[in-house]
Amino acid sequence: MTKNSQQERNWWKEGVIYQIYPRSFKDTSGNGVGDLQGIIQKLDYIESLGVTMVWLNPIYESPNDDNGYDISDYRAIMKEFGTMADFDELLQGLHKRNIKLVMDVVVNHSSDEHQWFQQSRSSRDNPYRDYYHWWPAEKGKPNHRWSFFDENSDAWKYDKQTDAYYLHYFSQKQPDLNWENSKVRQEVYDIMKFWADKGVDGFRLDAFQYVSKDITFPPFPEGYDINIPNVIKYHGMGPHIHTYLKEMYEQVLSKYDVFAVSEGVGSTLEDAHNLVDEDRKELQMAYHFEATDMVTTLEKCTLAQFKESFTKWDRSFAEKGWISIYLSNHDQSRFVNRYGSDKPAFKDYSAKMLNTFILSMRGTPYTYYGDELGMTNIGFTKIEQYKDIAAINGYKKAATDGEDLDLHLKNLNLLSRDNGRTPMQWDDTNNAGFSSETPWLPVHENHTTVNVANQQNDHNSVLNHFRKMVALRKDNLLLVYGEYEIIQEEHPTIYAYSRTLDDEQMKILLNFSELTSKINLSNLVQIKEVLINNYNELLIDKNTITLQPYQAVVLKF
Ligand code: NOJ
């Protein structure tokens, strides 16, 4: 399209996504759980951020074993969240503000309380039997498959009623759907059409890399070691995933002005391209886990690893295919704790710096609710405080395996998903303006200072920095499509890169450390404007820029 971009223009590339965890955004019914009317009440706030799309975590009927990722009715709204009339009002309210809506589609598995599974488990010859993966017990115990949330990591659960095992890659209440069955696929496309006909604009396909699997369930190869690439390789990205996606594209995606983003990209860059390149006619976007997976222990990750990962993905997707840029979501703890610092002196600077990063990279940026304020980890210390099935069952497994439980709790304290799910901090009142009643998960004690009311009118706040960055991105196609080039990759504390489109260039300099850091750049006299700066000053001396701890600047050349 221009000198330095081969990319076709699309609205979903040029947008900014705001992810809302409905359970934690705003409660209007007074049950301590967020709801759709709560989101409706906050539409003006959402609009004020400048974001162009909202992604909602699942809002369908669900027994909530995994907070809505276990769906018992794909065409009904979870009672705790409201009604279909509320949904229609929400969608209308968003569209009125030119904000698009992205729905979560969870179809690797359903809830065990879905009527399909109820039927399926009732007898071996039930017409719904093949909607799920069953292994008759007379064949012996099936070969091991790994489960993310099972307390023994065992994805096979014995069901007495028909003397057979069913497969569940996630919790026992999330049986995997059998995508080999064309009826299952048709059900999914019909569900997607139901929502697309209502007017939703996008779909986020949950755990999608797992829908196609080798259903002969062979033993793992000799020397098989359980790690993420292996989990994906031996549990998902099966032989038919592209057939399914082409079918979905033909039946649903190509018929509406919508896009679909896959959670997960397989285990290689090639896998990722095969999912999202335009000429494949499958998906439009995907997100990889490399950067978030880097922080899996208290050691966190090094800046060198971080830069290497983002640079590698950018290079690979410069001309073809499109990815998402994010550092947090409902499956992660707060980004300030993982990539910045929650020390009082650095918390706000690092939150602004990380938002500058997300909004100045190529790829569609995703901001998780609360990150625009710099919300931080609640940091539970006892297992009894957790609500997330992943934390609770993971702890049980660690106990069974004889792991060091103190260390396990320390890791959870930094990394648990509950850290990222605490109620949105609207104001400094008791429940942070989230609810009149005790919230389902406690509010962070720092809500007395980190809250919307406080930040709203402070032009130096994290919130207003976020708004400035969103506006800058929306005003500059360069930040969407411009070529990315890393500068001085070896620099130990600063992540610097340029973005170039036609004759325009911006340089983004981000100090990822608590240390005052210097970087030498040759053409500083050519700076036309300092577009973004999270400090009041910028020290430039001839060819040297000095950045304060977590300082972030965007310079126009
Ligand atoms: C990925 C979702 O992001 C996560 O929250 C959920 O627990 C699993 N898929 C299972 O649906």
Dihedral (Cα; 455, 459, 464, 469), 10-degree rounding: -160
Task: Please give the pLDDT value at position 252.
Answer: 98
Q: Name the residue at shortest CA distance from atom 11 of ligand 1.
A: 69
Dist CA 488 CA 34 (whole Å): 45
Contact indicator for 277, 302 with CB cutoff of 8 Å: no
Contact indicator for 63, 70 with CB cutoff of 8 Å: yes
Strands 60-61 and 73-77: antiparallel
**Token pair of 53, please?**
């799309």
Task: Please give the pLDDT value at position 6.
Answer: 81
Please say if the pLDDT value at position 3 is more than 90: no
Contact indicator for 275, 283 with CB cutoff of 8 Å: yes
> What's the CA-to-centroid distance between 172 and ligand 1, angstroms?
14
The predicted-structure confidence for 390-449, as pLDDT tens digits, reads as follows 999 999 999 999 999 999 999 999 999 999 999 999 999 999 999 999 999 999 999 999
Q: pTM of the entire structure? A: 0.97
The predicted-structure confidence for 270-287, as pLDDT tens digits, reads as follows 999 999 999 999 999 999
80, 86, 201, 206: the catalytic one is 206
For 516, other C-beta atoms within 10 Å of its C-beta total 13
Q: Give the pLDDT band of residue 302 (cuts 50, 70, 90).
A: very high
Atom of ligand 1 nearest to the CA of 69: 11
Contacts of 15 (CB under 8 A, 6+ apart): 51, 52, 53, 100, 364
Q: Is 206 a catalytic residue?
A: yes
In terms of Cα–Cα distance, which of 363, 383, 305, 365 is closest to 338?
Answer: 305
In terms of Cα–Cα distance, which of 247, 320, 312 is closest to 285?
Answer: 320
> What's the CA-to-centroid distance between 348 and ligand 1, angstroms?
29
Atom of ligand 1 nearest to the CA of 329: 3
Please say if the pLDDT value at position 2 is more than 70: no
Task: Give the mutation target among 55, 69, 111, 176 for probing the ligand 1 site: most ligand atoms within 8 A of CB.
Answer: 69
**Token pair of 556, please?**
């126009």
> What's the CA-to-centroid distance between 69 and ligand 1, angstroms?
6
* Ligand 1 binding pocket, CB closer than 6 Å: 66, 69, 106, 170, 206-207, 263, 330-331
> What's the CA-to-centroid distance between 477 and ligand 1, angstroms?
33
Give mean pLDDT, residues 287-300. 87
Q: Is 159 a catalytic residue?
A: no
Mean pLDDT of the chain: 96
Task: Please give the pLDDT value at position 522.
Answer: 87
Task: Please give the pLDDT value at position 1.
Answer: 53
Please say if the pLDDT value at position 455 is more than 70: yes
Please say if the pLDDT value at position 117 is more than 60: yes
Task: Please give the pLDDT value at position 184.
Answer: 98
Please say if the pLDDT value at position 361 is more than 80: yes
% the chain with pLDDT above 70: 99
In 122-183, DSSP assigns E strands to 134-136, 156-159, 164-167
Give mean pLDDT, residues 141-151. 96
Task: Please give the pLDDT value at position 296.
Answer: 81
Q: Give the pLDDT band of residue 299 (cuts 50, 70, 90).
A: confident
Strands 53-56 and 100-105: parallel
Give mean pLDDT, residues 89-98. 98
Atom of ligand 1 nearest to the CA of 66: 7
The predicted-structure confidence for 187-232, as pLDDT tens digits, reads as follows 999 999 999 999 999 999 999 999 999 999 999 988 888 787 788 9
Task: Please give the pLDDT value at position 483.
Answer: 97
Please say if the pLDDT value at position 298 is more than 90: no
Q: Is 340 helix (H, G, I), strand (E, B) or coil?
A: coil
The predicted-structure confidence for 515-543, as pLDDT tens digits, reads as follows 999 999 988 889 999 999 999 999 999 99
66, 263, 271, 314: the catalytic one is 263
Please say if the pLDDT value at position 313 is more than 90: yes
Using CA of residue 150, residue 156, residue 158, residue 162, what is the dihedral sign? positive
Dist CA 87 CA 386 (whole Å): 29
Burial 210-239 (b: 16+ CB within 10 A, else e): bbbbeeebeeeeeeeeeeeeebbbbbbbbe
Q: Give the pLDDT band of residue 318 (cuts 50, 70, 90).
A: very high
> What's the CA-to-centroid distance between 58 and ligand 1, angstroms?
10
Give mean pLDDT, residues 480-486. 98
Contact indicator for 412, 391 with CB cutoff of 8 Å: yes
Q: How far is CA 430 from CA 138, 189, 203, 383, 469, in A?
A: 58, 44, 36, 24, 31
Phi/psi at 241 (nearest 5 deg)?
A: -60, -40
Q: How big is the CA angle at 298 (ends 296 and 303), to the nearest 5 degrees?
A: 75
Task: Please give the pLDDT value at position 4.
Answer: 66
Q: Name the residue at shortest CA distance from atom 4 of ligand 1.
A: 331
Dist CA 470 CA 48 (whole Å): 10
Task: Please give the pLDDT value at position 5.
Answer: 77
Q: Name the residue at shortest CA distance from atom 9 of ligand 1.
A: 207
Dist CA 95 CA 440 (whole Å): 30
